[in-house]
Amino acid sequence: MKKRYTLFWLIPLIVGISLIPVVTNSVIYRETVFLILMYITLAVSLNIILGYTGYVSFGHIVFYGIGGYTSFYLMYKWGIHLIIAMIIGGIVSALVALIVGEAVLKLRGAIFAIATIGINEAIKSLVTNLPFLGGATGMFFNFKIYKTYGGASKAIWFAYYLMVIVTIVTLIASYLIKNSKFGYGLFAIREDEDAATVLGVNTKRFKSIAYAVSAFFPGLVGAIFFFKAGNIEPEDAFHLVKSIEMIFMVMLGGFGTLSGPPIGALLYERLKGVLLVNPLFKNLHMAIAGFVLLIIILFAPGGIVGSLRNKFKKLRGLLE
Amino acid sequence: MKRGIFIWVILGFFFLSFGFTQVGFAKNKIIIGFTVSQTGKLNAESKEQFNGLSLWKSYVNKQGGIYVKELHKRLPVEFKYYDDESSKDRVQQLYVRLITQDHADFLISPYSSGLTASAAIIAEQYEKIMLAIGAASDSIFSKGYTHTFQIYTPASRYLTGALDLLKAQDPGAKKVAIIFEQSNFAKAVATAAKNYAEKHGFKLVLFESYAKGTTDFTSFLNKIAEKKPDAVIGGGHFSDGETFAKQLFEQKMRIKLVSLLVAPAVPKFAEIGKAALYVTAPSQWEPKAQFTQNTAKKLGLPWFGVSANWFVKNYSKLYGETPGYHAAGGFVAGLVIQKAIEDAGSLKSNKVKKALEAMDLMTFYGRIKFDKGKYYGRQLGHEMVYLQWQNKGGKLVKQVIWPKGAESAKFIYPYYKKFK
Amino acid sequence: MEGWLAAIINGILLGLVYGLAAIGLNLIWGVMNVINLSHGAFIALGMFCAYFLFHLAGINPFFAMILILIIGILLGMISYFIVLHRVLDAPELSTLLSTYSLSLIIIGLGTFIFTTNPRAIDIGLGSIKILGIYLPISKILTGLFSVLFTLLLYVFLYKTWTGKAIRAVSINRSAAEFMGVNSTFILSLSFGIGIGLAMVAGCLIAAIFPFTILSGAVYELKSFVICVLGGLGSPIGALIGGLILGLLENLFALKIPVGYIPFIEFVILVIILLVKPTGLITKR
């Protein structure tokens, strides 16, 4: 058994970053770290279907939206508590993934990718037309909903702590999957699905579970984010560009690795955060992101972690 | 060695990017913070608003700033703003930054209703006053926010004027088709128009939404034509509105009243040529709208700020184009803050809040008065004006045709007159 | 009755426009098995080229289109070497992402330079009345050019040496090379033609509808649906797919709320991908 130390530094790093706003009691850091944690969770979940299993989910943001809408609706209509609504949101996302996956996981490669885009757009269009979900207007919280949590300030901090927990849980889940028989099966599917089937891997079931798990966590994230934002609209919930950003983060960090997606997410969020408030670069951040992505695809497809693992073989135990 | 430096560089970049917190200074300026949609879909409208706001800043700073009685001096105005990418992700982060790091005294909302609602939570939490321009939705103002004040006429009173206009001109015209883009704002406006139409004896022959980004309305127009409406009202934003008007003209539809959101109010609308003729639109403000000191006197209201002529002249000089209502909204938001601070004599939120609650005045933009109670902060005093594109000396110009009293030309009816 | 007739005629006209928009994507997908995610960006680029040629040089889009085709082919060939050459044989994710990154760069720079202000070209050709329905002449012209380009492409692919070389490379690259074909050049040319057609489509669409730098995305999504409907690799396929889509949109619009149409389109996309991923009409 190889020695696996990645979580030993990854988890403390995440916890450390999460504590910065708490220790400094700075709301501004809290906002920044919240976004970082959100991106990390999204990237790590996507990695399960993209990096481990090799299925390019281009429309993965749909699960963020489904979780968000489910949870928001439960809170809006029936005043259900965030934690419960969030979990139900995640479960609904996972269920949708299971159902949709039944059909869609039969596809391979780029066709699967296009199909996932189709699913995201279809669900976005559907939600836009459903009056009970607010349609194009979306749903807006009444400010007094935050009273249940002790006021807006406490509510947002609560959402923050919840996000920290969700992020850590997602990372641990990702680690456990990677080092389990289930994970090995997923990697086998990624490398050569037909060979995996021949070797006795129940590829159909494994793919379905991987897809469902990779949908559960974005559902949680969506629930938390829209609770904090106070309103939900179809455009934001099913924003295709965010899906691409998730892929970018996974690729930047290193797909299929444990520490890659968190690093990719962290760097991407910081890069974006810095560029957006800089008067010179803010209009160019999209072009810069495109350029960086191109460089990665062309010259370092393994991402940062992948390249580091290749160059510094001794670090492999640390950089899973 | 190499790998060590590599890791330190990344970590260093990461931590440095958090930035340094600013040290506080003695109060020598008024900071107004906001986000602008510089990228993403809302870019064009947001920019015009920003221009209007900037013109106000230079206007007020030329006088040395705003006089704050409590501090016994005039303080110049400074802006702090960021790009929100028309996306909800960063809005709250940016407003927190504006408040806690940039020490904004007052806030202006982001451009859309959804973004404004998210920002409103932060404004409410920190008890900072936020003026909402761009956000016309009523929904934010029944959600319990007590620090957000709306400058625009809300969606509920947007298209109702078109129905009033129709009734006044042709009481027999009853059949109305309401069409709208699948967006927050358009849906709110259309729903309110629907309720108003049903309440006032109109017959709603069609009430349907179309997907964002629709460029071909031919089939939709066919559907509308089949219902034989007297009036077609609604729309969404500029692109779809312009295209709809163009294609409606191409199909030579015999409609009596065409009233579209946003698009016809923008000067660029003239580029579709004859298709623009006789199209009407609700507008928050038009250069030709006659709100003057006389109007104020007649209504017994105080007058504040510059005249419409001053605004149009100076805006055109600075930006090389005639201002539309987005620009006017931006400028007036500045005027409102200025008056509220002067009335309150202080920069403290609770005092300025009281000044805003009591405000009832006339500006070049129209009347400003805020709602209380259930819809706290909603704009109450301001009415939409209606414009119509008409021929003047061979050129297409916008004329104000409603309400009676603010008109610059007579309303030409019906729309299909131009097909003869 | 008149409603249905109008719907069918408009559906065909619109369908021809859609088909034109999809030809480029269809070609590249069929020849190289690459889904070009920069397709929409190049359509938008074509729109802007047409806009500036019209407003600055007074060149009508219907004439500018030749110039734009050439520009597009050149840009496409250069792009091939930048984004595709290295990763053509890598897993599909690589080409998806590399073409997507190209899209990000183009749209990012485009937004920076042009902003998202909507633009329009009004050539003022007016409309004519056919069968009691008013049809804009520019739309009819675009439809005609769509058919023309499809035919030209068909002739090119099946009757010229270069075209046959392209088809050979797409069927079996090593065999083609064995026969003396410079596959790299042919692949770059194919991509170039695909991009050129996308830009031409943008040019002609700009003559009919207003647009912004973000408008290409809508056509790209529709092009996916079209390619899947009509079949990959065949120029006629794009046209047929476009016609089906155009007719679907117009006929459905009569009976159901038009807001639901995108939903239906994407459901159709997913269903077809599930049932017959290579398209409803396959050539191979």
Burial A40-49, CB ≥16 within 10 A → b, else e: bbbbbbbbbb
- Structural domain of residue B414, as residue ranges? 157-283+384-419
Band the pLDDT of A293: cuts 50, 70, 90. confident
- Structural domain of residue A106, as residue ranges? 6-317
Asked whether A89 and A219 are in contact (CB, 8 A), the reply is: yes
- The answer to the question of residue B273 being in a domain is yes
Report how many domains make up chain B.
2
Cα separation, A76 vs A56, in Å, equals 34
The whole-chain average pLDDT of chain B stands at 88
Domains of chain C in sequence order: 2-275 (1.10.3470)
User: Residue B237 burial by CB count (10 A; 0-12/13-18/19+): exposed, middle or buried?
Assistant: buried
What chain B residue is nearest to C17 in terms of C-alpha separation?
B216
- The answer to the question of residue B24 being in a domain is no
- Does the pLDDT value for residue B165 go beyond 70? yes
Q: What is the pTM of this model?
A: 0.85
Bond before A131 cis per omega within 30 degrees: no
Chain A residues closer than 8 Å to B137 by CB = 137
Which A positions 135-194 lie with beta carbon below 8 A of chain B? Answer: 135-138, 140-144, 146, 151-153, 156
B257-260 vs B231-235, strand pairing mode: parallel
Cα separation, B351 vs B305, in Å, equals 21
- The answer to the question of residue A16 being in a domain is yes
Cβ of C96 and A284 within 8 Å? no
Cα separation, C97 vs B321, in Å, equals 42
Instruction: Say yes or no: B269 and B316 in one domain.
Output: no
Cα separation, A129 vs B181, in Å, equals 11
Instruction: Quick: pLDDT tens for A158-209.
Output: 999 999 999 999 999 999 999 899 999 999 988 888 888 888 888 889 999 9
Sequence-distant (6+) residues with CB within 8 A of B38 are A282, A283, B46, B47, B83, B85
Instruction: Say yes or no: B67 and B203 in one domain.
Output: no
Helix ranges (H only) for chain A are 6-24, 27-47, 61-78, 82-104, 109-129, 152-178, 181-191, 193-198, 203-229, 234-237, 240-253, 260-276, 285-299, 303-311
C230 min Cα distance to partner chain B (Å): 21
Instruction: Say yes or no: B196 and B300 in one domain.
Output: no
Report how many domains make up chain A.
1
Instruction: Say yes or no: B164 and B273 in one domain.
Output: yes
- The answer to the question of residue A1 being in a domain is no
- The answer to the question of residue B302 being in a domain is yes
Instruction: Say yes or no: B138 and B172 in one domain.
Output: no
B127: left (phi over 0), alpha (psi -120 to 50) or beta: left
Asked whether B232 and B202 are in contact (CB, 8 A), the reply is: no
Task: Give the distance from CA B192 to its chain's centroid.
Answer: 17
Distances (CA, A) of A309 to A238, B80, C86, C139, C271: 35, 44, 22, 56, 41
- Does the pLDDT value for residue B303 go beyond 90? yes
Cα separation, B147 vs B353, in Å, equals 7
Residue type, C248: L
B216 min Cα distance to partner chain C (Å): 8
> Tell me, what CATH number does A138's domain have?
1.10.3470
Strands (E), B109-242: 130-132, 148-150, 175-181, 203-210, 231-235
Residue B253, token pair as written in the block: 């539809």
- The answer to the question of residue A80 being in a domain is yes
Band the pLDDT of B21: cuts 50, 70, 90. very low
- The answer to the question of residue B3 being in a domain is no
Band the pLDDT of C93: cuts 50, 70, 90. confident
| pLDDT: which is higher, B268 or A213 | A213
C176 min Cα distance to partner chain B (Å): 43
Instruction: Say yes or no: B35 and B95 in one domain.
Output: yes
Helices A152-178 and A181-191, axial angle in degrees (round to 10) = 80
Instruction: Say yes or no: B364 and B401 in one domain.
Output: no
> Tell me, what CATH number does B90's domain have?
3.40.50.2300
Considering chain B, what percentage of its residues have pLDDT values greater than 70?
Answer: 92
Which C positions 107-136 lie with beta carbon below 8 A of chain A? Answer: 107-109, 111-112
Instruction: Say yes or no: B168 and B279 in one domain.
Output: yes
- The answer to the question of residue B12 being in a domain is no
Cα separation, B286 vs C49, in Å, equals 34
List residues bridging with B179 in a β-sheet.
B208, B234
Mean pLDDT within B5-10: 60
- The answer to the question of residue A35 being in a domain is yes
Nearest one of A4, A19, A31, A53 to A190, comparing CA atoms? A53
Instruction: Say yes or no: B138 and B165 in one domain.
Output: no
Which one of A29, A137, A144 has the shortest CB-CB distance to B184?
A137
The residue behind tokens 């060939």 is C77
Instruction: Say yes or no: B121 and B40 in one domain.
Output: yes
What chain A residue is nearest to B236 in terms of C-alpha separation?
A136
Instruction: Quick: pLDDT tens for A69-101.
Output: 999 999 999 999 999 999 999 999 999 999 999
Provide Rg for chain B, Cα atoms.
23
DSSP B333-367: HHHHHHHHHHHHTS--HHHHHHHHHH-EEEETTEE
Asked whether B257 and B233 are in contact (CB, 8 A), the reply is: yes
Neighbours of chain A (3+ CB pairs under 8 A): B, C
Instruction: Quick: pLDDT tens for B79-111.
Output: 999 888 777 888 998 999 999 999 999 999 998
Instruction: Say yes or no: B278 and B263 in one domain.
Output: yes
